[in-house]
A and B are shown apart, each in its own frame.
Chain A
């Protein structure tokens, strides 16, 4: 399926850009007239994935993060977050609720939040090379009425 709209941005892994990433997603999704809940779901899931790049992928350095957004005719919004950081050895373990390799202020719930707020979460990673997280969410509510 070909996207009907798409965009891609890149930014350094600085924590101020967590907010920037949320704003980009809001702006991109606005054309779909999402409900406030759908928008909050998306913003939260993207915030989780981008924060993971900042905290885990590049723990002691600043690297680049790519955020790719695509919209399809069936109302599916697909968000791909890519980093070229440390990668994940064991994806299954990483996605287990409450698992964290981080310090005491991490809950280990980022992936759980992504999964509860999106229709699909896919993770591809290679240790030493980086990670790609793809979040899919259907914005159906008003979209279907509009077509």
Chain B
């Protein structure tokens, strides 16, 4: 599991690589929160394109980061979700939140 963050203007982009389970989620969560809490970016982008496995720990990670960003009026965007990950996010109703990256095709289930 590795994490790569880039910051530009008001956006913090986090590129996640590897398997996202309960074991790895704690490390990812604290790395993301450290960056987010220090600078209160307007937007947090989580890029899932190199996540090779995810279970409900990943849903919890996203829900928690959504709440965190909303706490200072920021927003969250999710990018690079495979149809499988998107299906899992929809179990939590996350697909009904305005979190999709522009250009992401909503119809590809």
Question: Which residues from chain A sit less than 8 Å from chain B, CB to CB?
Answer: 15-16, 18-19, 22, 37, 40, 43-44, 47-48, 51, 54-55, 97-98, 104-107, 109-110, 112-113, 116
Contact call A113/B55, Cβ cutoff below 8 A: yes
Expressed in whole angstroms, the Cα–Cα distance for A15 and B55 within the complex equals: 14
Question: Which residues from chain B sit less than 8 Å from chain A, CB to CB?
Answer: 19, 21-23, 25, 29, 53-57, 59-61, 63-64, 67, 84, 87-88, 91-92
Nearest neighbor of B94 in chain A, beta-carbon distance: A107
A147 to chain B, nearest CB (A): 28
Q: Which residues of A contact B67 (CB under 8 A)?
A: 104
Contact call A107/B22, Cβ cutoff below 8 A: no
Expressed in whole angstroms, the Cα–Cα distance for A3 and B25 within the complex equals: 36
Q: Which residues of A contact B25 (CB under 8 A)?
A: 105
Expressed in whole angstroms, the Cα–Cα distance for A44 and B55 within the complex equals: 6
Expressed in whole angstroms, the Cα–Cα distance for A140 and B22 within the complex equals: 30
Contact call B64/A109, Cβ cutoff below 8 A: no
Having A37-B84, A44-B54, A51-B21, one finds 16 other A-B pairs with CB under 8 Å, namely A15-B22, A19-B19, A22-B53, A44-B88, A47-B21, A48-B55, A48-B56, A51-B55, A51-B56, A51-B57, A98-B92, A106-B56, A107-B63, A109-B91, A113-B55, A113-B91
Q: Which of B23, B53, B61 contacts A16 (CB 8 A)?
A: B23
Nearest neighbor of B22 in chain A, beta-carbon distance: A51
Q: Which residues of A contact B84 (CB under 8 A)?
A: 37, 40
- Minimum-distance CB pairs A-B, first 10: A15-B23, A107-B59, A107-B60, A47-B55, A109-B56, A51-B22, A105-B60, A110-B56, A18-B21, A105-B64
Contact call B91/A112, Cβ cutoff below 8 A: yes
B8 to chain A, nearest CB (A): 27
A98 to chain B, nearest CB (A): 7
Expressed in whole angstroms, the Cα–Cα distance for A51 and B60 within the complex equals: 13
Q: Which residues of A contact B55 (CB under 8 A)?
A: 44, 47-48, 51, 110, 113
